[in-house]
A = this chain, B = another copy of it.
Amino acid sequence: MTDLRGIFPPLPTSFKKDESISEDGIRANIRTLCNYPLAGFLILGSNGELVMLSEKEKQKVYNTAREAIPDNRLMIAGCGAESTKETIALAKQAASAGADACLVLNPSYYKGQMDTMALRAHFHSVADASPVPVLIYNMPANTGIDMSADQILEIADHPNITGLKDSGGNLVKMAAVINSAGEGFQVLAGSAGFLLPALSIGACGGILALANIAPSMCCEIFENFNSGKIADARETQLRIIGANTAVTRKWGVAALKAAMDHLGLFGGIVKKPLQELDDTKKASLLQILDKAGIRPVTQKQG
């Protein structure tokens, strides 16, 4: 089984002005972020604007990213789609591009019909067909579905399902999953806002939007926790709360990209209907970053 311990940034997809993929942007960001002790990257997660891309664009992003990611770092590929058939096709494309694992969001448009049986059938069909291990992705803020611990455990019961990314932040649920799932089941925090709490109950790491702009701080929390320096880990955890909220729940991908532009990475535009931050919000964002001690990623953070 692929070892998923550590911190992964979910890389935003870089676009040119006309909303086409910027392969240069993707490569540049990966290169810069590889200066930090990150375990790897999530390509085409929610922050990668997956749901906005055509089938061809997705393939191009998988390929571009994998070529840029060194062999000693993992590539997890976001493969969620509404139909089982398309999800399987994406998992195969991602694997053939060289992904180490794929992250599968639950279908959510037909919310009323997505009961345990339908979800289990979907994930198991994907896991049967996927050449690489599958991670379950629970993302209630975007899907409107918050899978329960019992549902996740039902779904997890497949040899090619290796873990869970949970972005809901319900620590009781994460603990219940960790307690009941088999030995090797790996749970990753889906947001830096609850990284330390998740580590405290046995998460093996995190896939964190904030790791794109504050990679050293995210890695510090992880490493300090692992060396028993809880007070140090907590100090960093508390300090980043506001910045994390700003680039996730509050202002989303547009804020994350604006922050990247500000910090020496390639941020660029978001695809419409996402809107760019206006000047007031942008000024407020920069203050929040500064207050959290987030510095250009080419410099030493902290």
Chain A interface (Cβ < 8 Å from any Cβ of B)? 19, 46, 51-52, 54-55, 82-86, 107-114, 117-119, 121-122, 125, 141-144, 169-172, 175-176, 178-179, 191, 193-194, 196-202, 228, 230, 233-234, 237-239, 241-242, 244-245, 249-254, 271-275
Q: List, in ascending order, chain B residues with CB within 8 A of A113's CB.
A: 251-254, 274-275
Which of A114, A178, A272: most chain B Cβ within 10 A? Answer: A272
Q: Which residues of chain B are near A46, meaning CB under 8 Å?
A: 109-110
Asked whether, in the complex, the Cβ of B201 is within 8 Å of the Cβ of A234, the reply is yes
Q: How far is the CB of A89 from chain B (nearest CB, A)?
A: 10
**Which residues from B are CB-within-8-Å of A122?**
272-273
CB atoms of A85 and B271 under 8 A apart: yes
Q: Among B111, B193, B271, point to the contact of A144 (Cβ < 8 A).
A: B111
CA distance A107 to B142 in the complex (A): 11
State whether A172 touches B112 (Cβ < 8 A): no
Closest CB of chain B to A78's CB: distance in Å? Answer: 12
A241 and B172 in contact (CB under 8 A), knowing A19-B85, A272-B83, A273-B121? Answer: yes
Which B residues are CB-close (under 8 A) to A179?
Answer: 238-239, 241-242
Distance (whole angstroms) from the CB of A198 to the closest CB of chain B: 7
* A273 and B144 contacting across the interface, CB-CB below 8 Å: no
Give CA–CA (A241, B237) in the complex, Å: 24
A274 / chain B contacts, CB cutoff of 8 Å: 110, 113, 118
Q: How far, in whole Å, are A196 and B201 apart by their CA atoms in the complex?
A: 7
B142 and A273 contacting across the interface, CB-CB below 8 Å:
no
Residues of B within 8 A of A202 (CB): 234, 238
Query: A141 and B111: CB pair below 8 A?
Result: yes
| Chain B nearest Cβ from A209, distance in angstroms | 13
